Amino acid sequence: MRTFTAEDAVPADARGAAVALGNFDGVHRGHQAVVAAAAARGSPLAAAVFEPHPRRFFKPEAPPFRLQSPGQRARALAALGVTVLHTLRFDRAMADRDDTAFVRDILVDHIGAAHVAVGFDFRFGHDRVGDAARLLALGAQYGFSVEVVDAVDDARHAGKVSSSDIRAAVEAGDTARAANLLGRPWAIEGAVIDGHKRARGIGFPTANVALGDYVRPLFGVYATRTDVGDGVWRAGVSNIGVKPTVSDAPEPLLETHVFDFDGDLYGRTVETQLLAFLRAEQKFENFAALTAQIAADADRARKVLAEPSILAAP
């Protein structure tokens, strides 16, 4: 997939694309419908996304909320057939552009879009004055077609598929609902950082990853699968939280024990899918009690991950 920023000159062979436009945090089933609508109009298929997320720009002190890293988002879009990715820097200049200037400067002059697909609730321009109807009018004025994609219904619950509902599911530890809305298991990606190595001493070495700007999952233990960077998903068990028994860490960590793997992961980027919530985080009376529980958690995770339904398509 070819990638461009706002500072890059987009070559002629990447212009004239059908462009899926949005934040696409999660690339959930609703976002997938927008990409599919763009794909139906021809090639090349492009996506244009904002980075950082506008919410982070306008509310820098807001709690962590992201569903994906930029890399995860790019891979998810590529899997849908996107061949050109435009990452639009959301800064003060972007926030201050009115709706007409956004279309003229970004969609026409920079990207050279021939067609733009957006979700029904897409807003753009200073103070979010532009909506789908305005984009249709500006498209007609500047010579590109526009398709507005309706909400995708959540078949298992009332309402539409949304990033907000996925965040709520993640925060509740409802891995099945998050996977259903996303169309795949929710996953955390990050570089493995150094830890205290206590778990290694009892036979359960862990790959520790900071949560960064990811939405905070329900603290506790999960049955998981981890890609250690080679494209192979390995079963494991993970704890997310602040380790109240041994440290009360100021920032939560994802700590993953990958079953039957003894490679050195420090400094490597790994991605871990949360497949089933096993139990809430708790504080134990002593390290011996914690050790016994870790062994029990690992045994239960192996059993859960052996069930055929755990990896069934959402």
The whole-number pLDDT of residue 310 equals: 82
pLDDT exceeds cutoff 70 at 248: no
The CB-based long-range contact list for 134-143 (8 Å cut-off, 24+ gap) reads: 134/99, 135/99, 135/103, 138/99, 138/100, 138/103, 139/103, 142/103, 142/104, 142/107, 142/108, 143/108
Peptide bond into 52 cis (omega under 30): yes
**pLDDT confidence tier of residue 246, bands split at 50, 70 and 90:** low
Residue ranges per structural domain of the chain = 2-149, 181-311
Higher-pLDDT residue of 158 and 96 is 96
pLDDT exceeds cutoff 90 at 113: yes
**pLDDT confidence tier of residue 122, bands split at 50, 70 and 90:** very high
Contact 141, 101 (CB under 8 A): no
Q: Which residues contact 258 (CB under 8 A, 6 or more apart)?
A: 207, 226, 228, 234, 235, 236
Scan for tokens 């927008």, then name that residue.
34
- Can you tell me the mean pLDDT for 59-88? 97
Task: Specify the range with the lowest mean pLDDT, choosing from 157-161, 190-194, 301-305.
Answer: 157-161
pLDDT exceeds cutoff 70 at 247: no
- Can you tell me the mean pLDDT for 99-109? 97
Please give the CATH superfamily to which domain 2-149 belongs.
HUPs (3.40.50.620)
**pLDDT confidence tier of residue 223, bands split at 50, 70 and 90:** very high
Kindly give the interhelix angle for 175-182 and 163-171, rounded to the nearest 10 degrees: 160
The whole-number pLDDT of residue 42 equals: 78
**pLDDT confidence tier of residue 147, bands split at 50, 70 and 90:** very high
The whole-number pLDDT of residue 263 equals: 87
The whole-number pLDDT of residue 198 equals: 58
Please give the CATH superfamily to which domain 181-311 belongs.
Riboflavin kinase-like (2.40.30.30)
Higher-pLDDT residue of 289 and 313 is 289
The whole-number pLDDT of residue 89 equals: 96
- Can you tell me the mean pLDDT for 273-285? 92
pLDDT, the chain, mean: 92
The whole-number pLDDT of residue 291 equals: 87
Same fold, 2-149 and 181-311: no
**pLDDT confidence tier of residue 66, bands split at 50, 70 and 90:** very high
